[in-house]
Structure 1
Amino acid sequence: MATTWKLDPTHSEVAFKVKHLVITTVTGYFRSFDGTVVTEDETDFTTGKVSFSIDTSSIDTNQSQRDEHLKSADFFNAAQYPQITFTSTSIEEKGSDAFLLHGNLTVGNVTKPIAFNVEFGGTVMDPYGNFKAGFEVSGKISRKEFGLTWSAVTEAGAVVVSDDVKIQASVQFVKQ
């Protein structure tokens, strides 16, 4: 029997890291996101179908001027493309509680296949009677491959924003 799991946003986070001027890393978060996992069996997440969406206008790098630039047409164009989406195509077991989550990531009008590393944290019944499952998700994308091509170079020739973007999510799902 199929089991549906809904994301618990109050116990989850989605972050990214990107090099700035090649010498430091800027960390940002998306504050609004949603996700669902549908499994064939309550305890077998390898059968899961994952869908996840992120509200691009919820970007937060702790610097409002930069956030507005990231929401602009130079980057996410949040007015035209309000969501980043991910839909899984398969889940590959890589060892004890380790998986490779394959799927299609859409940023703006570009969709590309991607694989995320997933570490299964386990399941537990919370104090309110909700059955929960936890996961740590990580991966890396080329922002330019997804149409985020804005670039600048300093007078000394350093790139302002690197191409590689590291994605990290700590997510908790509630069995419905």
Structure 2
Amino acid sequence: MATTKWAIDPTHSTVGFKVKHMMFTNVAGKFNNYDANIVTDGDDFTKANIEFTADINSIDTNNADRDNHLKSADFFDAENHPKMTFKASSFTKVDDENYEIAGDLSIKGVTKFVKLPAEFSGLMTDPWGNTKAGINISGKVNRKDWGLNWNSALETGGVLVGEDVKLDIELQLVKQ
């Protein structure tokens, strides 16, 4: 079967996350610059070769001071580690809508194997004749697994920044 190359449609995609702040509210953020190299066997994503990168300097939490702190050595150390990468080793169908994507996530020079829940929305042709595919990736990772350890104790107990990072990644892909 012929291979198919897919590109991310950035106007209809978001690479987002949420982290607990002061242990009771979530702060949301996203990466504005990212790319992927996705090749499937025909239209079969279960045999996809997926490599994803995000530019750490594009982190956006709607607060410049917080963004600069996240880029610093306390967190991502963007000067020495400007990219976050993910290389999938599998995209497994669980049932008609649910999948699991697994692979190596590299942040700040540390690579860890992760498994994340995913939804595959299927294929659709847009009004201009382009074939599109939709994938939503969720789940959570512990930021400390990648050496993102900075925190501050609160006088009332607990810490300023939660350890779990909830992922909210919506990708609309376009067949090339």
Q: Give the TM-score of the pair, scaled to structure 2.
A: 0.96
Between Structure 1 and Structure 2, how many residues are aligned?
Answer: 175
Secondary structure in structure 1 of the residue aligned to 2:144: helix
Deviation of 1:118 after TM superposition, in Å, equals 1.0
Alpha-carbon distance in 2 for matches of 1:51, 1:68? 26
Structure 2 regions of 5+ residues with no counterpart?
none
Query: Does the CA contact (< 8 Å) of 1:41 and 1:47 recur in 2?
Result: no
Within-5 A mapping of 1:36-55:
36-42=37-43, 44-55=44-55
Deviation of 1:158 after TM superposition, in Å, equals 2.1
Q: Give the TM-score of the pair, scaled to structure 1.
A: 0.96
Q: Name the structure 2 match of 1:166.
A: 166
Deviation of 1:129 after TM superposition, in Å, equals 2.1
Alpha-carbon distance in 2 for matches of 1:98, 1:84? 25
Q: Name the structure 2 match of 1:12.
A: 13
Query: Does the CA contact (< 8 Å) of 1:36 and 1:50 recur in 2?
Result: yes
Amino acid at match of 2:84: I
Q: CA RMSD in A?
A: 1.0
What percent of counterpart residues are identical? Answer: 45
Query: Does the CA contact (< 8 Å) of 1:55 and 1:82 recur in 2?
Result: yes
Within-5 A mapping of 1:25-40:
25-40=26-41
Q: Name the structure 2 match of 1:76.
A: 76
Alpha-carbon distance in 2 for matches of 1:96, 1:120? 9
Alpha-carbon distance in 2 for matches of 1:174, 1:131? 6
Deviation of 1:56 after TM superposition, in Å, equals 0.5
Secondary structure in structure 2 of the residue aligned to 1:45: strand
Secondary structure in structure 1 of the residue aligned to 2:57: helix
Secondary structure in structure 2 of the residue aligned to 1:90: strand
Alpha-carbon distance in 2 for matches of 1:98, 1:38? 20
Secondary structure in structure 2 of the residue aligned to 1:79: coil
Amino acid at match of 1:3: T
Secondary structure in structure 2 of the residue aligned to 1:118: strand
Secondary structure in structure 1 of the residue aligned to 2:100: strand
Alpha-carbon distance in 2 for matches of 1:139, 1:49? 21
Secondary structure in structure 2 of the residue aligned to 1:52: strand
Alpha-carbon distance in 2 for matches of 1:73, 1:4? 36
Q: Does 1:65 align with 2:60?
A: no
Structure 1 regions of 5+ residues with no counterpart?
none
Q: Name the structure 1 match of 2:136.
A: 136
Secondary structure in structure 2 of the residue aligned to 1:169: strand
**Deviations 1:102-125, CA, capped at 9 Å, x for gaps:** 100000110000012110112111
Q: Name the structure 2 match of 1:97.
A: 97
**Deviations 1:59-91, CA, capped at 9 Å, x for gaps:** 111111111100111001111111100000112
Deviates more, 1:50-59 or 1:149-158: 149-158
Q: Name the structure 1 match of 2:154.
A: 154
Q: Name the structure 2 match of 1:3.
A: 4
